[in-house]
Amino acid sequence: MPSPHARIDFDVFCKLAPEALGAMMAVVKAVDESGMDKALLELIKLRSSQINGCTFCVKHHLMAARKMGIDSAKIDLIAVWKDAEIFSEKERAVLAWTESLTNVATQGAPDDIYEAVKKNFSEKEIVLLTLAISGINSWNRLGVGLRFSDPPMA
């Protein structure tokens, strides 16, 4: 059921723009099926959605992270990952890259953050991580701009 605050409900969006939905889903699928660590990709999606304030996406990715079995402490502490020792070097590099690209207008993509990513990932993996960040930021802009109704909690 659409939320009273929704501008255009997610289901309506899907019906109005099926080709665009298909294109966006193709990028998500390509990254998800690339062999990249799915838990790492889910952390990207959750953190970016938090930064962008997309309630729909935060709820969706919280449910997905829990369903995947991602450590609940990581889910709980992702907003403060810089001070939480539970995150690995690779996760920290990805979360920093996620934050810089999500805030690209004000932060840019600093060399030191890129170097940390480069230290932990191949060039192909960096491209895939960057596509994942780009993709979730696109979804966040749709969710925030159109005020998608919250997904049902499972």
Read off the DSSP letter of residue 103: T
Please give the pLDDT value at position 3: 55
Q: Which residue has the higher pLDDT, 1 or 3?
A: 3
Architecture category of domain 10-146 in CATH: Up-down Bundle (1.20)
Residues 6+ apart with CB under 8 A from 24: 135, 138, 139
Please give the pLDDT value at position 90: 97
Prediction pTM value = 0.92
Question: Could you give the CA distance from residue 141 to residue 49 in angstroms, rounded to a whole number?
Answer: 9
CA Rg value for the chain: 15
pLDDT tens digits along 106-149: 989 999 999 999 999 999 999 999 999 999 999 999 999 999 87
Please give the pLDDT value at position 143: 92
pLDDT tens digits along 89-116: 999 999 999 999 999 999 899 999 999 9
Please give the pLDDT value at position 1: 47
- Minimal CA–CA distance to 55: which of 114, 141, 143, 135? 143
pLDDT tens digits along 11-57: 889 899 999 999 999 999 999 999 999 999 999 999 999 999 999 99
Please give the pLDDT value at position 10: 87
Please give the pLDDT value at position 21: 92
Please give the pLDDT value at position 54: 94
Please give the pLDDT value at position 50: 97
